[in-house]
C-alpha cells in the first residue's frame, strides 16, 4: 500500500463511501470480464500463431514448386515469356475479397480468394511450344498466391490481435494494480476518517455528558446546599420556638405501658 | 558433284563449325555438372567450354545471367561465322535468324499494341534476331505505322504480306500472329533450301528438309495440343499448320479436326516416329497425365512429348554432322548449342533451387 497518498480526492463522507464501494464492485466485475476476454483473445492468438507457422512452411514449399515450374517453362519455351504475359493480362483472374470475423468484440478482417472463371488472358501463350508448361506454371502460381492470401489474412489478424491483446492486458493490469488498490485505499481512508469522526463524536458526547453530569452534580449540590441551609434556618427557628408540634410530623413515641 | 566446289567458298566455315561442334558439352561433362553443389562449382566445371564468357560473372550468379552469358558465346560465334559466310551460305544464315526475328517483331508488336515505350524492349530482343533496322520499328506509335515499317524495313515482309493485314495485328491474338508468321517462315525456308541453285539436290536440302519437316510437324502437333481449351477455333488452327512436313496433308487435316489428345494420336498414327512418342508418353491412353509434362512433373513419369521432340531434334542435328559439304551443320550446330544452353540453365536451376531429383532431365546426345 502506497499509503494515504494514493487515493482519490474525495471528502470522507458516507455518500462517497457508498460511491467508492460500488466503484470497487464495478472494477472487480470489469476486471473479471476483461481477464476473460484477454484469455479468449490469447487463445485465438495462439491458434493464429500456429496457423501462421503452418502457412509459412506451406508457402515455402509451394513457392519452391512454383519457382521450379517457372524453370520448367524457361526450359520448354527457351526464352522469356514475361513481357508477353504481362502485356496480355487484362483483367484479374484471381481476386480477393474481405469479410469480417468477430472474436470477442475484435473485428478481424479475413481475406478470401476466388478465381473468376473463363478469364484466360494468356491462354495462347506458348502456342508453338511450351504452352502446357505455361498453363501448369500458372496453376502452380495461382496456388502459391492462394497460400499468400491465406497468410496475409492470418498476419493481419495476428497484428490486430496483438495490438488488442496488449490494450486489454494493459486495462486488466491497470484495473488490477491501480484502480482497485486505489479504490480500496480510498475506502479504507474514508472508513478511517469516519471512524475518527465517530470516535471524536463519541468523545465529544462523552465530554458533554461528563460536563452535564458535573453540572447537574454541581447544581444538585447547590440545591442541596440551599435546601440544607433553608432547613437549618427552619430548625433554628423551631428550636428557637421550641414548641414541638405534637400533631406535627414528628411521631410520637409509642407509649409503652 | 556438290562437293567439288563446296570448299572454295564454304570450307572454312564448315571447318569452324565442326570445331565448335567438338566444343559442345558431352555426356561426361553433363554428369560432372550434375554433381555440382553450388552455382560456383558449376561455373568452374563450365570453365573449359565457356571460360571467357563466364569470367566476368560475380560469385554465385543467377541462372538467368548464366544463361545470358552462355547465349553471348553462341551469338559471338554465330556472328563470326556470319561475317565469314558468302553467297548462298550467307543467305542460309540469314534465314536461320528469321525465326528469332519473328519473336522480336512479335515482342515489338505487343509493346506497340499496349502503347509501351518500345525502346525498352530492344534489349529484351533475342540478339540472333537483331537486324539493323529494328530500332526504326520503335518509332512507330500506332499499329498501322508499325505494320508499314515492318513491311518496308524488315526481311519479314513476305511473311506479313498476303496473310496478315494491319487490322489483323490489332485484332488477332499476338500468339496467332506469331505462329502465322512462323508458318510462313517455315514454308519459305523449306522452299528456299529445295529450290536454291546452290542447295537443291545436295545434302543440304536433304538434311534441312528433314529438320524443317520435323519442325513443321512439331509445331502442328504442339499448336493442336496447346489449343485445347482455348478460344482458338479449328478453322483458325488449321491456318497455322505449315503446308509441308510428314504429317501434311492427311495428318494436318486430321489434326485440324482433333478435339482431344486421342484425336491428335489418331492423326499422327501414320508417322511411326510420332506414334512411338505418343505411346511412350502414355498419351495414347486417355488416362494420360496431360500433354507436354516435363518428365517427373506432377503426375507424369518418364519423358514428356516435348522432351521427346527435343530429343528427336537433337538426334537429327547430330545426324547432320555425319554429312559433308552441307550448310545444314550450321543450323544443326545452332540448335545443339541452344539445347546446351537450356541444359545448363536447367541444371543450374536444379542446383539453385535444390531440386536435385530431376537434375537428370537434360538432353545430351554426345
B180-203 confidence digits (pLDDT tens) = 889 999 999 999 988 888 788 888
**Beta carbons of A125 and B126 less than 8 Å apart:** no
Rounded Cα–Cα distance for residues B345 and B64 (Å): 7
Most confident of A73-82, A147-156, B146-155, B237-246: A147-156
What number is the average pLDDT over the span B101-129? Answer: 82
**Nearest residue on chain B to A90, alpha-carbon basis:** B114
Q: Note every long-range contact of B46-49, with CB atoms under 8 Å and residues 24 or more positions apart, other chains counting.
A: B46/B70, B46/B344, B49/B23, B49/B24, B49/B25
pLDDT of residue B301: 45
Q: Which residue has the cell 538432353?
A: B363
The domain segmentation of chain B, as residue ranges, is 203-284+303-324
Is pLDDT of B297 > 70? no
Q: Which residue has the cell 538434311?
A: B207
pLDDT band at B118 (very low <50, low <70, confident <90, very high): confident
**Beta carbons of B226 and A124 less than 8 Å apart:** yes
B233 at the A interface (CB within 8 A)? no
Mean pLDDT of the residues in chain B: 83
**Nearest residue on chain A to B339, alpha-carbon basis:** A78
Rounded Cα–Cα distance for residues A1 and A224 (Å): 60
Q: Which residue among B124, B182, B338 sits closest to A128, beta carbon to beta carbon?
A: B182
| Cis ω for the linkage preceding A155 (within 30 of 0) | no
Check if the beta carbon of residue A138 is closer than 8 Å to that of residue A117: no
**Nearest residue on chain B to A64, alpha-carbon basis:** B353
pLDDT of residue B289: 41
pLDDT of residue B54: 84
Q: Determine the angle formed by the axes of helices B87-113 and B6-22, rounding to 10 degrees.
A: 60
pLDDT of residue A247: 64
Kindly report the CA angle at B14 between B13 and B18, in degrees rounded to 5? 115
The domain segmentation of chain A, as residue ranges, is 26-167
Kindly report the CA angle at A83 between A78 and A89, in degrees rounded to 5? 120
Check if the beta carbon of residue A112 is closer than 8 Å to that of residue A96: yes
Chain A positions in Cβ-Cβ contact with residue B110 (cut-off 8 Å): 83-84, 87-88
Q: Which residue has the cell 516416329?
A: B273
Is pLDDT of B83 > 70? yes
Per-residue pLDDT of chain A (257 residues; tens, 9 = 90+): 444 567 788 888 889 889 999 999 999 999 999 999 899 889 989 999 999 999 999 998 898 888 888 888 888 876 677 777 777 777 778 888 888 888 777 888 888 888 877 666 666 777 777 777 888 888 888 889 889 999 999 999 899 989 999 999 999 999 989 889 999 988 998 999 889 888 988 998 888 888 888 888 888 888 988 888 888 887 777 666 655 566 666 666 776 76
Mutate to test the interface with B, among A69, A70, A75 (most CBs of B within 10 A): A75
Chain A residues with CB-CB distance to B under 8 A? 64, 67-68, 71-72, 74-76, 78-80, 83-84, 87-88, 120, 123-133, 136
Mutate to test the interface with A, among B99, B175, B232 (most CBs of A within 10 A): B175
Residues whose CB is less than 8 angstroms from the CB of residue A13 and which lie 6 or more positions away in sequence, other chains included: A190
Phi, psi of B198 (to 5 degrees): -80, -20
More confident residue, B355 or B295: B355
**Beta carbons of A133 and B179 less than 8 Å apart:** no
Residues whose CB is less than 8 angstroms from the CB of residue A11 and which lie 6 or more positions away in sequence, other chains included: none
Give A115's strand partners.
A94
**Nearest residue on chain A to B217, alpha-carbon basis:** A128
Check if the beta carbon of residue B197 is closer than 8 Å to that of residue A103: no
Q: Which residue has the cell 496483438?
A: A162
pLDDT of residue A29: 94
pLDDT of residue B330: 92
Give the C-alpha distances (Å, rounded to integers) separating A123 from B152, B171, B221. Answer: 32, 16, 17
Is pLDDT of B221 > 90? no
Mutate to test the interface with A, among B107, B226, B236 (most CBs of A within 10 A): B226
pLDDT of residue B287: 37
Look up residue B111 and give its three cell numbers. 509493346
pLDDT of residue A118: 65
pLDDT of residue A122: 65
What number is the average pLDDT over the span B328-355? Answer: 90
CA-nearest of B161, B152, B150 to B185 is B161
Chain B positions in Cβ-Cβ contact with residue A62 (cut-off 8 Å): none
Distance from CA of B106 to the nearest CA of A (A): 9
pLDDT of residue A54: 93
More confident residue, A195 or B303: A195
More confident residue, B186 or B148: B186
CA-nearest of B306, B304, B284 to B295 is B304
pLDDT of residue A28: 92
Distance from CA of A125 to the nearest CA of B (A): 6
Is pLDDT of B285 > 50? no
pLDDT tens-digit map of B262-282: 888 888 888 888 888 888 876
Look up residue A153 and give its three cell numbers. 489474412
- What sign does the dihedral A69-B286-B220-B110 (CA atoms) show? negative
CA-nearest of B87, B91, B103 to B174 is B103
Rounded Cα–Cα distance for residues A189 and A197 (Å): 12
- What sign does the dihedral B317-B322-B323-B325 (CA atoms) show? positive
pLDDT band at B286 (very low <50, low <70, confident <90, very high): very low
Give the C-alpha distances (Å, rounded to integers) separating A209 from A153, A201, A220, A224, B79. Answer: 79, 12, 16, 21, 129
B122 at the A interface (CB within 8 A)? no
pLDDT of residue B126: 85
What number is the average pLDDT over the span B113-127? Answer: 80
Q: Which residue has the cell 501463350?
A: A125
Rounded Cα–Cα distance for residues B155 and B162 (Å): 15
Strand, helix or coil for residue B337: helix
Distance from CA of B347 to the nearest CA of A (A): 10
Check if the beta carbon of residue B106 is closer than 8 Å to that of residue B53: no
Rounded Cα–Cα distance for residues B304 and B233 (Å): 26
Give A111's strand partners.
A98
Check if the beta carbon of residue A62 is closer than 8 Å to that of residue B298: no
Q: Rg for chain A (alpha carbons), in Å?
A: 49
pLDDT of residue A93: 80
Give A98's strand partners.
A111
Q: Which residue has the cell 460500488?
A: A22
Q: Is the ipTM of this complex over 0.90?
A: no
Q: Which architecture characterizes domain A26-167 according to CATH? A: Orthogonal Bundle (1.10)
Q: Determine the angle formed by the axes of helices B174-195 and B87-113, rounding to 10 degrees.
A: 170
Amino acid at each position: 500500500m502506497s499509503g494515504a497518498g494514493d487515493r482519490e480526492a474525495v471528502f470522507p463522507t458516507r455518500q462517497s463511501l457508498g460511491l467508492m464501494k460500488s466503484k470497487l464492485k464495478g472494477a472487480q466485475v470489469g476486471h473479471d470480464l476483461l481477464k476473460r476476454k484477454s484469455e479468449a483473445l490469447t487463445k485465438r492468438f495462439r491458434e493464429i500463431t500456429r496457423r501462421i507457422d503452418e502457412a509459412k512452411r506451406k508457402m515455402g514449399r509451394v513457392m519452391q514448386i512454383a519457382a521450379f515450374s517457372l524453370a520448367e517453362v524457361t526450359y520448354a519455351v527457351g526464352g522469356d515469356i514475361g513481357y508477353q504475359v504481362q502485356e496480355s493480362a487484362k483483367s484479374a483472374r484471381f481476386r480477393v475479397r474481405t469479410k469480417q470475423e468477430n472474436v470477442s468484440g475484435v473485428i478481424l478482417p479475413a481475406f478470401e480468394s476466388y478465381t473468376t472463371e473463363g478469364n484466360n488472358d494468356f491462354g495462347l501463350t506458348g502456342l508453338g511450344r511450351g504452352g502446357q508448361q505455361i498453363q501448369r506454371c500458372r496453376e502452380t502460381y495461382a496456388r502459391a498466391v492462394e497460400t499468400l492470401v491465406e497468410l496475409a489474412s492470418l498476419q493481419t489478424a495476428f497484428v490486430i490481435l496483438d495490438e488488442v491483446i496488449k490494450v486489454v492486458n494493459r486495462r486488466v493490469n491497470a484495473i488490477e494494480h491501480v484502480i482497485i488498490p486505489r479504490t480500496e485505499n480510498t475506502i479504507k481512508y474514508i472508513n478511517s476518517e469516519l471512524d475518527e469522526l465517530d470516535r471524536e463524536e463519541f468523545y465529544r458526547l462523552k465530554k458533554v455528558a461528563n460536563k452535564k453530569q458535573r453540572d447537574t452534580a454541581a447544581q444538585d449540590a447547590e440545591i442541596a446546599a440551599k435546601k440544607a441551609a433553608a432547613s437549618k434556618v427552619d430548625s433554628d427557628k423551631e428550636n428557637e420556638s421550641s414548641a414541638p408540634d405534637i400533631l406535627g410530623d414528628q411521631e410520637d413515641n409509642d407509649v409503652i405501658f | 558433284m556438290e562437293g567439288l566446289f563446296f570448299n572454295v567458298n564454304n570450307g572454312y566455315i564448315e571447318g569452324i563449325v565442326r570445331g565448335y561442334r567438338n566444343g559442345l558439352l558431352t555426356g561426361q561433362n553433363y554428369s560432372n555438372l550434375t554433381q555440382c553443389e553450388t552455382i560456383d562449382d558449376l561455373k568452374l566445371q563450365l570453365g573449359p567450354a565457356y571460360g571467357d564468357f563466364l569470367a566476368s560473372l560475380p560469385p554465385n550468379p543467377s541462372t538467368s545471367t548464366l544463361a545470358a552469358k552462355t547465349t553471348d558465346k553462341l551469338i559471338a560465334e554465330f556472328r563470326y561465322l556470319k561475317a565469314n559466310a558468302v553467297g548462298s551460305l550467307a543467305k542460309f544464315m540469314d534465314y536461320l535468324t528469321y525465326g528469332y526475328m519473328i519473336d522480336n517483331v512479335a515482342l515489338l508488336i505487343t509493346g506497340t499494341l499496349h502503347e509501351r515505350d518500345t525502346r525498352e524492349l530492344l534489349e529484351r530482343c533475342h540478339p540472333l534476331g537483331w537486324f539493323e533496322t529494328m530500332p526504326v520499328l520503335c518509332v512507330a506509335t500506332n499499329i498501322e505505322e508499325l505494320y508499314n515499317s515492318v513491311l518496308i524495313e524488315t526481311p519479314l515482309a513476305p511473311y506479313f504480306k498476303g496473310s496478315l493485314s494491319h487490322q489483323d495485328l490489332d485484332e488477332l491474338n499476338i500468339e496467332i500472329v506469331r505462329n502465322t508468321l512462323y508458318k510462313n517462315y517455315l514454308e519459305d525456308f523449306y522452299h528456299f533450301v529445295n529450290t536454291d541453285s546452290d542447295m537443291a539436290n545436295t545434302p543440304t536440302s536433304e538434311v534441312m528438309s528433314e529438320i524443317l519437316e520435323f519442325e513443321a510437324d512439331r509445331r502442328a502437333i504442339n499448336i493442336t495440343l496447346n489449343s485445347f481449351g482455348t478460344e482458338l477455333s479449328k478453322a483458325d488452327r488449321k491456318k497455322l499448320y505449315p503446308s509441308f512436313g510428314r504429317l501434311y496433308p492427311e495428318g494436318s487435316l486430321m489434326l485440324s479436326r482433333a478435339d482431344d489428345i486421342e484425336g491428335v494420336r489418331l492423326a499422327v498414327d501414320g508417322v511411326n516416329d510420332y506414334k512411338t512418342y505418343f505411346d511412350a508418353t502414355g498419351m495414347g491412353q486417355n488416362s494420360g497425365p496431360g500433354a507436354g509434362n516435363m518428365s517427373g512433373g506432377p503426375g507424369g513419369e518418364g519423358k514428356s512429348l516435348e522432351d521427346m521432340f527435343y530429343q528427336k531434334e537433337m538426334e537429327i542435328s547430330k545426324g547432320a554432322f555425319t554429312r559433308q559439304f552441307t550448310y545444314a551443320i550450321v543450323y544443326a550446330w545452332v540448335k545443339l548449342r541452344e539445347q546446351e544452353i537450356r541444359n545448363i540453365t536447367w541444371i543450374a536451376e536444379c542446383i539453385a533451387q535444390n531440386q536435385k531429383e530431376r537434375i537428370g532431365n537434360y538432353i545430351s546426345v554426345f
